[in-house]
Structure 1
Amino acid sequence: MIGAVWDRLRLFNIGELLAHRSRTIMSMLVMAVSASLLVSVFSISGSITGSVDKLTHSLGGKAALEISGVTDAGFDQSLLQDIRAVAGVGTAVPMLRQAIGADDNRALLIGADQTVTQLGSDIGGTLKDQAAKLLTVSNGVLVGSAMGHREGDKFQLGTVTATVAGVIDDATAAKLNGGHIAIALLPIAQKITDRAGRLDSVQIIAAPNADVDQLRSDLTKAVAGRAVVADPQLRTAQASGAVMLVRYSTLASSAAALIVSAFLIYNAMSMAVAQRRPTLSLLRAMGGKRAPMVRDLIVEAALLGLLGGIIGSILGIGMGRSAIRQLPAAIVNSVESRTEYEVPGYAIPVAILACVLASVLAASIAARQVYKVAPIEALAPIGVGAADVVKPWLRWAAGALGLITVVGAAIIAKADLGRVSIVSISTAIAGSVLLCFAATDPIVRAVAAVARLFGAPGALGATTIERAPRRVWATVMTVMIGVTAIVAIGNASRNMVSAATDSFEGLARTDVFVSPTAMEQFPTGPALPADLKEKLSAIPGVGAVGSAQMAFSTLGQGRVMLQAFENGLAGTASLDSVSQADRARMATGEGVVISRDVARTLGVHEGSDLTLPTPTGEHHVAVLQVVPYFSAIAGVVMLDLDIMRQWYERPGETILGIQFAPGADHAAVMAAIRAAVPADIHVSTGRDAVTAISTSVRQGTSISSAILWIVVLVSAVALLNTLMLSVLDRRRELGVLRAMGTSRRFLLRTVLTEAAGIGVTGAALGLGIGSAVHYLGTFALGHAIAMDIAYHPSPLLVANAVLALGLSLLGAIPPALRAARLPIVEAIAID
């Protein structure tokens, strides 16, 4: 039985795949593109969360819980005694963790005491093996191999000159922040960072038989809001939030590519059925059953999807490595660990499975042509048999389901579901495809009508179009989806970038910003030198210098960005909407202003009470206002600078905003500022800051935009497939026409008119549907980034549609040339 099945597959399916290599390779490549996009998208988010997770395990080992600082300021070391006194705590391992360096030199400094060896972690083993070296070397540190130092080297680390007591071996260093790590005994680390008496985390090893849930509750009471008690995986969960918007938007674009690929597989299998009709009909006449034939076709398609998925997964690994370098620095630097590229374990299986399922579904629909026809009917040209006739009830069902889907997409887009709202874009496109299926006949008639506009060649092309309505409809859908994706997602993303840029326009009112990192990276630390503000204020031509701070903080189970301003100098347009009365309440610590996504997550609104955990304990404030704010990385809580300094124990500032005095020579003052600021600190004008932030936001959408144009190229391949099938179906007919004196040019124009009919109709549908989805997309993206996005239809909308149409029509050239060059004798001789 198995041998017979294999022989049938080998002779009639695998043999056909090898005989028609061009079509086989094309189908596999299209599926490979879809798989590569999926793998690269999964790898982007997986690399960030995976890097954080690997670092967490390397540091935490067998810790059951972690007590971490509310912000990067950590908490007072005296809290350690309260933690160790809680029943159920076996061992409490204190740590200091602080990022050092910037950009490519960014590393992590870890400080710990001898109890770290009980964690059974990589860092514990390293300290245990080399503890003697650290104890005998002044200001000694262990460094990872990626730091580029050798044992005995001295280098500036924080406020001290450190000595390399030892170099961590490559195998262990690779697990510890990719080797970009420095490890010191806790007192030395506190000295290096000038944070005497401070801790950033305490790893908790539960006592034997202790109830972890009860232990978590008791520890939460003990820390009383001064720190956060959570599972060690909380850091990974918070890191995933930073890249979630990019992941959702790129997944939506990748889904469009997969749908287009499925349509192309449908066309490829239709082509296979058309070419094999004589063989299939002969097998039916000899008593062959239809079910095995259909199953064989489905297996053939699954094989295409499997091979394409495997090839694409390999390509996707390289694409993901390239794509992760395109992520905005604000996303990459918002997490504690360095981002190391890795492909999540689920990425390749999911991508391959998606390709196989899409191929099987598409082939199942195409195989109906075999399953529905009688042996004698199978000898007729495709498009005139019962297989091409869809029952009315199926059309009505598709129309009803499509309408429900589109309405559901509209509801999801309008509802404030956060980043989940982006799902409405793909849902709306899927619903539109169902509605178009219900309108197959009008769409095919429209395609034929467009073709007839081109005279006699168009009339002949229209006849061919009407003979294969399902195949024509499928190709129109590929063009439609490509154009829709470009028009809808592309323009909605452009509107989002404009809205984000406008929201930061208030920064341009400040003449100069001084910060430890570039403004587009949302500088959260380290604090600027304590005397820098005074130095800058003394520069001739400087009118005023205002302070501001940014810091990531844990609130609830999520992470927010704290923003505190002095006199509104470094504020944004969101702060402009806050009344003077509310600003006075902010100054006294009575209230805060929060972004929409924070309000949604915490279930609060204007006037609600909000509890803020801080290193100085819990503070109860009122929500003074809920404002729109670009929250692609984290939601925002705005408060007074002095209050932030007191409650969160973060002295100083991470941003200085400078206003020039009236009549000052801007160039001279700017030069003086740059001379006064240390070389490793960033100086930028307010206008440059706005431009840089806008560029960073645009960079975040660039990956999605690239995927959309790949979808268009896939649409061009689908059009090529369909027209090639049309030529193959009519080889005898084309040969007879050539024998009767029809010119090659006439046949060339005939095929091109079919392409024009399909392309123009698909582009028109794509433009209309894309405009509607673009409108919904502005709401969806607005909820995703927690701000208002205005719907601005642009002339580029039509230009993009025309460009996408032009690329799609390129697929018509090879089959048109083949039709024109078809040898007369060979064509007439075809059975």
Structure 2
Amino acid sequence: MARVTLRNLAAHKIRLVLTAVAVILGVAFVAGTLVFTDTMNRKFDDLFDRIGENVAVDVRASRVVDSGDEGAPRPPLPQSVLALVRSVPGVKDPVGSVDGYAALVGRNGKVVGAGQNGPPQLGTNWSDDGVARLVSGRAPAAAGEVVVDRASAKKAGYAVGDQVTVLVKAGPRRATLVGTADIGDMMGATIVAFDTPTAQSLLLRPGYFSEIRMGSTGPDEATLRDRVARVLPSGTEAVTGAKLRDENKSAVASFMGFFRTFLLVFALISIFVGAFIIFNTFSMLVAQRTRELALLRAIGAARSQVTRAVIGEAVAVGFVGSTLGLGAGVGLAALLQSTTGGGGGLTFTATPVLWSYTVGIVVTVVSAYFPARRAAKVPPVAAMRDDVAMPQRSMRIRLAAGSLLTLVGAALITLGLFGHVSNAVVPVGVGAFAVFLGVALLAPVISRPVVRVLGWPFARLLRTPGRLARQNALRNPRRTAATASALMIGLALITAVNVLGSSMRSSVEAQVDKQFGADYVVEPTGAGGLAPELVARVKATGGVKDAGAMYSGSAKISGKRVRYTSGDTAEMLSGTRARLVSGSGALGRDGMLVDEATARKDSLSVGSAVPLLFPDGRTETLHVRGVYAKNQFLGGRVVAQGAYLAHTPDPAVDVIIVTADRADAATKAAIERTLSARPDVKVQDQSALKADARKQVDGFVTFLTILLIMSVVIAAVGVVNTLALSVIERTREIGLLRAIGISRRQLRRMIRAESVVIAVFGALLGIGIGVAFGAALQHALRDKGLSELSVPVGTLAGYLVVAAVIGVLAALWPAWRAGRMDVLKAISTE
């Protein structure tokens, strides 16, 4: 039977190559994701190993309140701690580190690497610790001198000796570029280094460090850590260099693990779609070889041998597809790496190889298993018949199973979205999978009435070719449904994403209309925040009536971390159109406001005392002065500005809320002139705020859609495969049609029309399911701010057109091949 398998592979090369494409694309997604994330993990590990190579002990402030962000800065350390650790026996070369925000402005006036999703813009103090290596010039020795990493200097167009502009939280600073440094592969990050006193003044606080690192003259890290810990003041801690490196690597590994899982979900969707294609292809191949299989049974082949022969073909297809997919995945990983700004080679481990072959071969074999079982059931006597057909099960079983799966899936989705379960992802994911399988089983039943309707325009416009196309699509509803189901899955998910995106846009716009009462907001585009002094400058601008700062912070209440906003309370309440339900907005020094949900949850009312543990380690009791209605901009809590500033050593303004005497273009231009030296700051009115929100949502939707397009491409390959096999299956029929007078042009039209009907049928199923999924998700997220349901009808109509175009393109090769058939040979085909 091995020879039979090899002969069949050689005889059906084109068909099996088309099947292998589905495997290649799915495996490429999996392999590319694994290789890329392995590469990024290795790069970060190398970076942290290099940074912490000579660090035996790290001294830092204790984190009293976890902000929820591992990368968030800790409270600064006073410079006096450096003198304390110098006196500890075994300490070698202790160095204070200063870290903060510093952005380099290029010759074009734009910030290098600017953007909310761009690489970090880091400021630090220069130290000769071996991490950074000067490649030109010298180290900064005084105020007004900086060293910039070589890659950023090149992007900005600067050379040693040039005057450069560096943006820090307090504003722009002019400096001389005295050197460029090689800091290794920082994945596009910008590094600006000052001398230590200047860095402390600009990035942190004069006389303070972010952390203090030291080597060892002999003691092991644990011993030296214990010695250092004994001399440290309260509120500080010492950790070993190994722990510091592990923490950094763990934070990156956690993010990369999430990113890997995120991408693999989309890869598995592509593989799931590919499984439909493989199943369909092998079903058609088995059906076309029914007589051949019956002859094998007649000459003594056992059922298990026939099954193994078909499975052997599947293994071969899976192996070839996995091999080519692995190669394509490496190329995809290289492309992803280039988009991150990183360099160097890829990290290639055994994991992508094992998973690529496992996924590719297992999915192919599982998808081909049921066609193989059906092949084994062909009776030997079928070899003596002219009209041999594979046995078909009743549609009643599919109808019952499909209905059951769809109902169970819908119930699981409902449970996950509305049942307040601890991990909603599992029931929603399993439910969605069950719904897809259920609808795929029901599709043959649904296809008959839908295909009749979809095929009607073709029957009217194309006449005979159109009628034949409709009949061909109706002839085998299982095949039509299986082909359409592959397209259905991808378009269902794309539609759900677009419904969610449209609902997010509508919800944000509704919230802005309802809760945006300010004339303008001023906010940074980078991560540094704004200095409080900038508020006074904006307030003094002509045409501005008032301006107030808005901060954000973290604290602990009853041992639980909470987020809050703070700032100029009057401006915040006015600028967000907050509606007080009870109490007053006058907070004084020790007041706070809570929204209605927080008040109910924590049993608070006007006058309640709430102890807050702040990040500086001090606890202060604040009193609830008022309760306000839910407000997306304010969040659940507002803390008095005096309390926030008293416990925040280095406050950074998140947003400046501006009220104007006259909100017109002149006033906005005046504010922009005031901020002209800050290209990292933007001024937005209501329309600009909406446009910015739309841009962010559109970017997110586009990103997800691009990831899902792979499944649509695989589905399109499935349409090509089905039509190509269908043309081969109907060779004699096509010859007879040509013999009775149908032209090549009409024949091609017939095949194209059939393809369009199948593709549009799949698109209608997908869009219908996607709208239902999107609406359910929007309803479940109403309390999270997704208040408006919006269905992008125009976009969905565009997807129907795209599906029709996919149908036309998928039919080009099969139609061309059908048109080139020799009539006499086609008629004589058995």
Structure-1-length-normalised TM-score: 0.75
Give 1:823's aligned residue. Answer: 822
Q: Which residue of 1 aligns with 2:706?
A: 706
Structure 2 counterpart of 1:494:
502
Residue of structure 2 equivalent to 1:434: 437
CA distance in structure 1 between the aligned counterparts of 2:237 and 2:770, rounded to whole angstroms? 49
For structure 1, the 5+ residue unaligned runs are 326-337
**Residue of 392, 415, 418 corresponding to 1:414:** 418
State the partner residue of 1:365.
Answer: 370
Alpha-carbon distance in 1 for matches of 2:546, 2:771: 48
Tell me what 1:685 maps to: 684
The gaps in structure 2 that reach 5 residues or longer are 105-110, 114-119
Structure 1 counterpart SS, 2:112: helix
User: Following the alignment from structure 2 to structure 1, what is the Cα–Cα distance between the partners of residues 419 and 654?
Assistant: 36
- Asked if structure 2 preserves the Cα contact closer than 8 Å seen for 1:568 and 1:575, the reply is no
Q: 1:199 aligns with which of 209, 212, 237?
A: 209
The equivalent residue for 2:191 is 181
What is the aligned partner in structure 2 of residue 775 from structure 1?
775
Instruction: Report whether the alignment pairs 1:762 with 2:733.
Output: no
- Residue matched to 1:333: none
Are 2:517 and 2:577, in contact at CA under 8 Å, matched by a contact in 1? no
Q: Deviations over 1:717-760 (max 9, x none)?
A: 32232222222111122223433445556645654564455345
Q: Cα offset for 1:160?
A: 7.5
Distance 2:622 2:251 in 1: 24
Letter of the 1:823 counterpart? D
The Cα of 1:577 is off from its aligned counterpart by 4.8
Q: SS at 2:100's partner residue?
A: strand
Match of 1:317 in 2: 333
Q: 1:252 to 1:90 in 2, by over 3 A?
A: same
Identify which range, 532-541 or 696-705, moves more after superposition.
532-541
CA distance in structure 1 between the aligned counterparts of 2:103 and 2:123, rounded to whole angstroms: 10
Give CA deviations for 1:623-651 in whole Å, capped at 9, x if unaligned: 978957499xxx98753433322212234
SS of the counterpart of 1:174? Answer: coil
> Which range moved further: 618-627 or 483-492?
618-627
1:443 equivalent to 2:443? Answer no
| Matching residue's letter, 1:825 | L
Secondary structure of the residue aligned to 1:439 is: helix
C-alpha distance in 1, partners of 2:420/2:232?
32
Counterpart residue number, 1:509: 517
Aligned with residue 379 of structure 2, among 359, 365, 374: 374
Question: Offset of 1:525 from its aligned partner?
Answer: 2.4
Stretch of structure 1 that moved more, 795-804 or 56-65: 56-65
**Structure 1, 572-581 or 478-487: larger mean CA deviation:** 572-581
State the match for 1:478 in structure 2. Answer: 486
> Displacement, 1:313?
1.0
Q: Are residues 179 and 674 of structure 1, via their aligned partners in 2, closer, same or farther at CA, if it must alter by over 3 Å?
A: closer
Q: How does 1:238-317 map to 2 (within 5 A)?
A: 254-274=267-287, 276-277=289-290, 280-288=293-301, 289-317=305-333
Mapping 1:123-138, distance limit 5 Å: 123=131, 126=132
Aligned counterpart, 2:571: 569
TM-fit CA distance, 1:686: 1.6
> Is the contact made by 2:716 and 2:806 (CA closer than 8 Å) also made in structure 1?
yes
1:108 partner letter: L
Measured in 2, the distance between the counterparts of 1:604 and 1:216 equals: 44
Give CA-to-partner distance per residue, 1:314-344, whole Å, 9 cap, x none: 452365358769xxxxxxxxxxxx9999889
CA contact (8 A) 1:449 1:462 kept: yes
Q: Which residue of 1 aligns with 2:108?
A: none
With over 3 angstroms needed to count, the CA separation of the structure-2 counterparts of 1:648 and 1:370, relative to structure 1, is: same
Identity %: 20
- Which whole-Å CA distance do the structure 1 matches of 2:215 and 2:186 have between them? 20
The Cα of 1:310 is off from its aligned counterpart by: 2.1
CA distance in 2, matches of 1:747, 1:728: 14
The one-letter code matched in structure 1 to 2:414 is A
Aligned pair in 2 of structure 1 residues 352, 818: CA closer, same or farther (>3 Å)? same
Taking the aligned partners of 2:141 and 2:125, their CA distance within structure 1 comes to 17
Question: What whole-Å deviation, never above 9, does each CA across 1:476-526 have from its counterpart, x for those lacking one?
Answer: 2123224323332221222123223433456853333334x33xxxx6524
510 and 276 in structure 1: CA distance in 2 versus 1, 3 angstrom threshold = same
8 Å CA contact retained: 1:495, 1:792: yes
Residues 781 and 806 (structure 1 numbering): CA distance in 2 closer, same or farther, change over 3 Å?
farther
Corresponding residue for residue 78 of structure 2: 77
Distance 1:465 1:309 in 2: 32
The 1:351/1:134 distance shift into structure 2, 3 A limit, reads: same
Cα distance in 2 for partners of 1:381, 1:615 equals 88
Task: Check whether the contact 2:487–2:762 (CA below 8 A) recurs between aligned residues.
Answer: yes
Q: SS at 2:184's partner residue?
A: helix
CA distance in 2, matches of 1:93, 1:247: 36
Give the match's secondary structure for 2:571. Answer: coil
1:542-587 alpha-carbon deviations (Å, 9 max, x no partner) = 2112222357999999998764331353579877256563744596
Match of 2:100 among 81, 95, 98: 98
Q: Note if contact 2:334-2:346 (Cα within 8 Å) is conserved in structure 1.
A: no
Counterpart AA for 1:360? V
Distance 1:526 1:750, change over 3 A: closer
Compared CA separation, residues 344 and 379, structure 1 to 2 (3 A): farther
Matched positions, count: 777
The Cα offsets for residues 81-123 of structure 1, whole Å up to 9 and x where unpaired, read as 89969x9998986422113115425642333878xx5xxxx62
Listed one character per residue, the Cα deviations across residues 229-286 of structure 1 (whole Å, up to 9, x for unaligned) are 9965656776789899998876665544332222222233334435555554444444
Corresponding residue number in structure 2 for 1:718:
718
Q: 1:753 to 1:592 in 2, by over 3 A?
A: same
Q: 1:216, 1:591 → 2: CA distance?
A: 43
Deviates more, 1:213-222 or 1:157-166: 213-222
User: Equivalents in 1 of 2:584, 2:260: separation in Å?
Assistant: 37
Q: Deviations over 1:29-71 (max 9, x none)?
A: 4444444555677789889887766654443346687846765
- Number of the residue aligned with 2:116: none
Partner of 2:51: 59
Aligned to 1:335: none
Whole-Å Cα distance in 2 between the matches of residues 307 and 52 of structure 1? 29
Q: How does 1:640-655 map to 2 (within 5 A)?
A: 640-651=640-651, 653-655=653-655
**Structure 1 residue 768 displacement after superposition:** 3.0
Distance 1:759 1:696, change over 3 A: closer
Mapped partners of 1:506, 1:793: distance in 2:
21
Displacement of 1:297 in angstroms is 1.9
- Corresponding residue of 1:803: 801
Contact 2:96 2:213 in 1 (8 A): yes
* Structure 1 partner of 2:123: 109
**CA separation in 2, counterparts of 1:539 and 1:316?**
51
Retained in 2: the 8 A contact 1:58–1:175? no
Instruction: Give the RMSD, CA atoms, in angstroms.
Output: 5.4
* Structure with the largest fraction of helix: 1
Once the 2 structures are TM-superposed, how far is the Cα of residue 475 of structure 1 from its aligned partner?
0.9
Does 38-47 or 408-417 show the bigger shift? 38-47
Q: Would you say the 8 A contact 1:256–1:426 is kept in 2?
A: no
Amino acid at match of 2:674: A
Contact 1:412 1:424 in 2 (8 A): yes
**Number of the residue aligned with 2:728:** 728
Give the residue type in structure 2 aligned to 1:588.
D
- Find the aligned partners of 2:597 and 2:237 in 1 and give their Cα distance: 22
Give 1:698 shift: 1.8
Counterpart amino acid of 1:806?
A
8 Å CA contact 1:499–1:790 kept in 2: the answer is yes
Give the conservation status (yes or no) of the 8 Å contact 2:36–2:334. no
For residues 279 and 83 of structure 1, the distance between their equivalents in structure 2, rounded to whole angstroms, comes to 88
Show the counterpart of 1:223: 235
